Amino acid sequence: MKKTRIGIIGAGPSGLAQLRAFEAAKKEGHDVPEIVCIEKQSNWGGMWNYSWRTGVGKYGEPIHGSMYKYLWSNGPKECLEFSDYSFDEHFKKPISSYPPRPVLFDYIQGRIKKNNVRDYIRFDTTARWVSFDEESQKFTVVLDDLKIDKTYEEEFDYLIVASGHFSTPNMPYFKGIENFPGQVMHAHDFRGADPYKDQNLLIIGSSYSAEDIGVQCHKHGAKTVTLSYRSNPIGVNWPDGIKEVPLLTHFENDIAHFKDGTSEKYDAVIMCTGYQHKFPFLPDEMRLKTKNNLYPDNLYKGVFFNDLPRLIYLGMQDQYYTFNMFDTQAWVARDYMMGRYKLPSKKERRYDIDKWLKENDTLQSGNDHVDFQSAYIKDLLAISDYPDFNVDKVGVMFKEWLKDKDENILTYRDKTYQSVVTGTMAETHHTEWMDELDDSKERYLYQNESEEELSDTLEVTSI
Amino acid sequence: MKKTRIGIIGAGPSGLAQLRAFEAAKKEGHDVPEIVCIEKQSNWGGMWNYSWRTGVGKYGEPIHGSMYKYLWSNGPKECLEFSDYSFDEHFKKPISSYPPRPVLFDYIQGRIKKNNVRDYIRFDTTARWVSFDEESQKFTVVLDDLKIDKTYEEEFDYLIVASGHFSTPNMPYFKGIENFPGQVMHAHDFRGADPYKDQNLLIIGSSYSAEDIGVQCHKHGAKTVTLSYRSNPIGVNWPDGIKEVPLLTHFENDIAHFKDGTSEKYDAVIMCTGYQHKFPFLPDEMRLKTKNNLYPDNLYKGVFFNDLPRLIYLGMQDQYYTFNMFDTQAWVARDYMMGRYKLPSKKERRYDIDKWLKENDTLQSGNDHVDFQSAYIKDLLAISDYPDFNVDKVGVMFKEWLKDKDENILTYRDKTYQSVVTGTMAETHHTEWMDELDDSKERYLYQNESEEELSDTLEVTSI
């Protein structure tokens, strides 16, 4: 019998979780399917693989990453820890709760480098077009090898869409924006605060990007940062130099006018106006059509496309939980593809989805959202052998984190949390976040050591 | 018998030329095929349809346009005039030889508004995937209606690829660029000089974009502009404030180092490093694979894909001639599709292509290039009924233009040329180009009139 073939689109945290899930089964002696993972970037890591490029990449494909310099985790690392690969195992020592991007990227890679999953991945390869044959129950995927400019077809029994949903900007039009003389960009193209030093910056939006880019630009020397919100302000205690105003109505050259009748002159505009779920390689009957949402419609257990459950979406939810959520999803998906987990009927799946959607509609506060996603994670943990972790305790940490941010948006990253995987308490970082302008792994991990080494050297020198 | 169906991808100058060519035949009483033209933008005009957006558009598709504010024609309009629709016919009065973008866009639209070609165009629609069936000799094209997020298929007997080749940036890596603190962008994302006021700007490249963006930024107040060339400098007489240096070797933070050992600090980098011919919607056996070139390989008469001449590419050449070249191509393509022009055998076509390629290889100077493309235009004019125009005289104008630029890059746009279509001599513009900071159609066309009106008003007031 021909081996089951599995196609995975994307080698970011979700795609890698899927590869890792199969590796775990293989290590336990199971016969695992044949896997092909394609990745349009030249390296794995998805969003965590920083690129200086904007717009399109080397081969003219839209840039995947929305990552920028000086990005530090905006939630405690204890809330995203892999339960089968702890921070302790990776770093061999406690680290702080809010590491910068290079440190988190290192951690993601650590787990997968232990396995041979790189061999499954075809880099610089993108999916052009997918079709599904009802009779054979197989997907045909047209792949494009960007390096050699060659298209070819592959057949799969299951298709995992793990291409992320923070890559395609949503960018509304505001009257007069075409005549705004300064730089206008979406957060997707933001690569760091440096160009905004001494500038008056207008940020449109009130979600994570707006908050984080605004605070980063403040930290790195923007003169003023104005955040303009559509419905509700972020509403934390902003420091001097950052303020929130109602929605922009229009521009008159470099003057922005707001709903409350005020107006101000700006040097640059960054739109933190969210992202679109976009799957250009899928025919529309296979496309997940959703806004950014804790429970996208039509996905049973948040992953199985209800009209065609051989089509599996990973990580398509709005996210409190991240790496550990992708893991719990990937383990369940793996068990389904390996025949270890059976799906109920389409009608029963629909009923279950509706139950979650109804619940989702009742949520009000950030705490409600946390509880909802915690319940979802538990629902997944119950049906696979992904190592259990204390979801309730993670939920509590998320709520503390929300409170920390409310209290002081500039210092919440100096707080520490305790791992639910190892029980280890995070270290206080050697430098307060507001004073730390260097986000390199070297500086983060070895600052103390090198200062000691340095003082040793100085002592020797001074003899 | 079922009517021949023709698919046109793109409603820019090339696609519109194709629509216009069929309309011309229809007006002469011919029975023309059924035509579907798709355009991913919301309006026609291709590159001439300015968008303030960069990266991806409203629906997440890569932005087509590389157009920027304050763009004035960089060649005499007399060299691109439609021979069946003169500037005189459109503007009803002589205008200068180097109009700004809005004026040229108005001219392009004038001709097609006279016809009902808009009805053929499906806007906000992109081509996802093309296949060709040998047996039926038909193309199946998967289209994506971006507005309603719906894919569907269409069958065509002929497929015209008129999607341009100045949309997908080519952007090389330079060591250290990931740590350059300022803005780094490709010319494709440049939207005007304003953000570079008082800045030290590094431009990489030595072709039209580098020259034009460099000069624009100088005109609009950049402190200094440095152009860095790979092989040969542009080599015109640069004014104070613009200079050319050899190729960048690497960055150290905001310091750029060049091949000649010099180094300098910059605020921003614009890469004018060219574009890729990119056709993601085509399987590679149908893809035109070429660099920017006066005679791309595998295109008979510069348009018919030699392996499959039902696949027609318009405007894929590097361009001296533009609108009038697209016309001459579209007329020949139309005659082929209507059975009025027969192609020779594949072997004979190959022989002809090789003849041109060989000739192309011998070209040295700008004048040689002009002569080569003039000969190509004549080759096309000879086989269709597109209204003849004096190609030799246009060739002479191109050579004068090259000389004008060499002599003074800041004033060449103040020169005037004579139309080969109407014999009309261009007007001297009311304001010298270097002093004209407003590129609006109103200012360009009605400045004199409004001043008169204004003085009338003043007289009345002063009574």
| Res. A408: pLDDT tops 70 | yes
**For testing the chain A interface, which of B53, B56, B163 should be mutated: the one with the most A CBs within 10 Å?**
B56
Would you put residue B46 in left (φ > 0), alpha (ψ -120 to 50) or beta?
left
Question: How remote is the C-alpha of B76 from its chain's centroid?
Answer: 14
Query: Residue B455 has what pLDDT?
Result: 46
How far apart, in whole angstroms, are the C-alpha atoms of residue A207 and residue A193?
18
CA atoms within 13 Å, Cβ hemisphere of A380: 29
Q: Averaged over B338-361, what is the pLDDT? A: 98
How far apart, in whole angstroms, are the C-alpha atoms of residue A253 and residue B249?
38
Query: Residue A252 has what pLDDT?
Result: 98
Ranges A343-347, B435-439, B444-448: which has the least confidence: B444-448
> Measured between CB atoms, which of B60, B177, B194 is closest to A276?
B60
Domain residue extents for chain B: 5-167+275-404, 171-271
Query: Residue A446 has what pLDDT?
Result: 87
- Tokens 């004014």 found at: B239
Query: Residue A2 has what pLDDT?
Result: 82
8 Å CB contact of B186 and A287: no
> Measured between CB atoms, which of A55, A180, A182 is closest to B189?
A55
Q: Measured between beta carbons, which residues in chain A are less than 8 angstroms from residue B276?
A: 59-60
B342-364 b/e (C-beta count within 10 Å ≥ 16 → b):
eeeeeeebeeebeebeebbeebe
- Does the domain formed by B5-167+275-404 have CATH 3.50.50.60? yes
Q: Measured between beta carbons, which residues in chain B are less than 8 angstroms from residue A288?
A: none
Q: Measured between beta carbons, which residues in chain B are less than 8 angstroms from residue A281?
A: 128
| Shortest Cα distance, chain A CAs vs residue B173, angstroms | 9
CA atoms within 13 Å, Cβ hemisphere of A385: 10
8 Å CB contact of A283 and B151: yes
8 Å CB contact of B189 and A60: no
How far apart, in whole angstroms, are the C-alpha atoms of residue A27 and residue B328?
66
8 Å CB contact of A169 and B56: yes
8 Å CB contact of B280 and A128: yes
Q: Please tell me which residue of chain B has the smallest CA distance to A277.
A: B60
Q: Please tell me which residue of chain A has the smallest CA distance to B166.
A: A60
8 Å CB contact of A268 and B151: no
| Res. A412: pLDDT tops 70 | yes
Q: Measured between beta carbons, which residues in chain A are less than 8 angstroms from residue B284?
A: 144, 149-151
Q: Thinking of the domain A171-271, which architecture would CATH place it in?
A: 3-Layer(bba) Sandwich (3.50)
| A181: Cβ contacts below 8 Å, ≥ 6 apart | A253, A254, B192, B194, B195
Q: Measured between beta carbons, which residues in chain A are less than 8 angstroms from residue B443?
A: none
How far apart, in whole angstroms, are the C-alpha atoms of residue B7 and residue B127?
10
The amino acid occupying position B176 is: G
> Measured between CB atoms, which of B52, B142, B188 is closest to A177?
B52
Query: Residue B459 has what pLDDT?
Result: 39
> Measured between CB atoms, which of B52, B173, B276 is closest to A178?
B52
8 Å CB contact of A178 and B56: no
| Res. B216: pLDDT tops 50 | yes
Do residues B428 and B396 make contact, with C-beta atoms less than 8 angstroms apart?
Answer: no
Q: How far is CA B418 from CA A40, B2, B105, B370, B421, in A?
A: 51, 47, 21, 18, 9
Q: Measured between beta carbons, which residues in chain B are less than 8 angstroms from residue A58?
A: 171, 173
Q: Please tell me which residue of chain B has the smallest CA distance to A254.
A: B194
Q: Measured between beta carbons, which residues in chain A are less than 8 angstroms from residue B186?
A: 55
Query: Residue B446 has what pLDDT?
Result: 87
Cβ burial of B27 (10 Å; 0-12, 13-18, 19+) is exposed
Query: Residue A350 has what pLDDT?
Result: 98
Q: Measured between beta carbons, which residues in chain B are less than 8 angstroms from residue A128?
A: 128-129, 280-281
> Measured between CB atoms, which of B53, B144, B173 is closest to A280?
B144
8 Å CB contact of B55 and A128: no
How far apart, in whole angstroms, are the C-alpha atoms of residue B149 and residue B139?
22
**For testing the chain A interface, which of B50, B124, B183, B184 should be mutated: the one with the most A CBs within 10 Å?**
B183
Q: Measured between beta carbons, which residues in chain B are less than 8 angstroms from residue A195?
A: 181-183, 268
> Measured between CB atoms, which of B55, B129, B281 is closest to A188?
B55
- Tokens 């235009």 found at: B377
| Shortest Cα distance, chain B CAs vs residue A64, angstroms | 11
Q: Measured between beta carbons, which residues in chain B are less than 8 angstroms from residue A287?
A: 149
Query: Residue B73 has what pLDDT?
Result: 97
Q: Hey, what are B129's tokens?
A: 């995937």
Query: Residue A449 has what pLDDT?
Result: 56
Chain A with chain B: Cβ pairs closer than 8 A: 109
Query: Residue A299 has what pLDDT?
Result: 98
- Phi then psi for B458, rounded to 5 degrees? -60, -40
Cβ burial of A367 (10 Å; 0-12, 13-18, 19+) is middle
| Res. B39: pLDDT tops 60 | yes
8 Å CB contact of B280 and A62: no
Q: pLDDT tens digits, residue range B331-341?
A: 999 999 999 99
Q: Averaged over A348-364, what is the pLDDT? A: 98
Q: How far is CA B370 from CA A147, B30, B392, in A?
A: 34, 35, 10
Do residues B337 and B326 make contact, with C-beta atoms less than 8 angstroms apart?
Answer: no
Q: Please give the mean pLDDT across all residues of chain A.
A: 95
Q: Please give the mean pLDDT across all residues of chain B.
A: 95
| Res. A456: pLDDT tops 80 | no
**Residue B405's pLDDT band (boundaries 50, 70, 90)?**
very high
8 Å CB contact of B149 and A268: no
8 Å CB contact of A62 and B56: yes
| Res. A452: pLDDT tops 60 | no
Q: What is the 3-state secondary structure (H, E, C) of chain A?
A: CCCCEEEEECCCHHHHHHHHHHHHHHHCCCCCCEEEEECCCCCCCHHHCCCCCCCECCCCCECCCCCCCCCECCCCHHHCCECCECHHHHHCCCCCCCCEHHHHHHHHHHHHHCCCHHHHEECCEEEEEEEEECCCCEEEEEEEECCCCEEEEEEECEEEECCCCCCEECCCCCECHHHCCCEEEEHHHCCCCHHHCCCEEEEECCCHHHHHHHHHHHHCCCCEEEEECCCCCCCCCCCCCEEEECCEEEEECCEEEECCCCEEECCEEEECCCEECCCCCCCHHHCCCCCCCCCCCCEECCCEECCCCCEEECCCCCCCCCHHHHHHHHHHHHHHHCCCCCCCCHHHHHHHHHHHHHHHHCCCCHHHHHHHHHHHHHHHHCCCCCCCCCHHHHHHHHHHHHHHHHHCCCCHHHCCCECCCCCCECCCCCCCHHHCCCCCHHHHHHHHHHHHHHHHHHHHHHC
How far apart, in whole angstroms, are the C-alpha atoms of residue B316 and residue B290?
9
Query: Residue A373 has what pLDDT?
Result: 98
Beta bridge partners of A305: A299
- Is 0.80 topped by the overall pTM? yes
- Going by C-alpha positions, the residue among A161, A160, A167, A142 that lies closest to residue A152 is A142
How far apart, in whole angstroms, are the C-alpha atoms of residue A59 and residue A450?
40
Per DSSP bridges, beta strands A158-161 and B311-313 are unpaired
> Among residues of chain A, what percentage have pLDDT more than 90?
95
- Tokens 């590094």 found at: B202
Q: Measured between beta carbons, which residues in chain B are less than 8 angstroms from residue A188?
A: 55
First to last CA, chain A: 76
| Res. A51: pLDDT tops 60 | yes
| Shortest Cα distance, chain A CAs vs residue B161, angstroms | 18
Query: Residue B447 has what pLDDT?
Result: 75
8 Å CB contact of A52 and B178: yes
> Measured between CB atoms, which of B54, B150, B181 is closest to A55?
B54
**Residue A458's pLDDT band (boundaries 50, 70, 90)?**
very low
Query: Residue A455 has what pLDDT?
Result: 45
Q: Please tell me which residue of chain B has the smallest CA distance to A62.
A: B62
> Measured between CB atoms, which of A56, A186, A281 is closest to B169?
A56
Q: Please tell me which residue of chain A has the smallest CA distance to B278.
A: A60
| Res. A393: pLDDT tops 70 | yes
8 Å CB contact of A284 and B60: no
- Tokens 């011309």 found at: B24
Q: pLDDT tens digits, residue range A68-82?
A: 999 999 999 999 999
How far apart, in whole angstroms, are the C-alpha atoms of residue B358 and residue A380?
66
Q: Measured between beta carbons, which residues in chain A are less than 8 angstroms from residue B195?
A: 181-183, 268
Same fold, A5-167+275-404 and A171-271: yes
| A355: Cβ contacts below 8 Å, ≥ 6 apart | none
Do residues B321 and B80 make contact, with C-beta atoms less than 8 angstroms apart?
Answer: yes
How far apart, in whole angstroms, are the C-alpha atoms of residue B259 and residue B266?
16
Q: Hey, what are A174's tokens?
A: 């505001």
The amino acid occupying position A20 is: R
- Going by C-alpha positions, the residue among A206, A204, A76, A182 that lies closest to residue B197 is A182
> Measured between CB atoms, which of A58, A61, A169 is closest to B55?
A169
Beta bridge partners of A256: A251, A264
Q: Averaged over B89-99, what is the pLDDT? A: 97
Q: pLDDT tens digits, residue range B133-179?
A: 999 999 999 999 999 999 999 999 999 999 999 999 999 999 999 99
Which residue pairs, CB below 8 angstroms and at least 24 apart, start in B116-121?
A: B116/B23, B117/B16, B117/B19, B117/B20, B117/B23, B117/B37, B118/B44, B120/B8, B120/B19, B120/B35, B120/B36, B120/B37, B121/B11, B121/B19, B121/B37, B121/B38, B121/B39, B121/B44
Beta bridge partners of A425: A418
Q: pLDDT tens digits, residue range A124-152?
A: 999 999 999 999 999 999 999 999 999 99
How far apart, in whole angstroms, are the C-alpha atoms of residue A276 and residue B58?
10
| Res. B458: pLDDT tops 70 | no
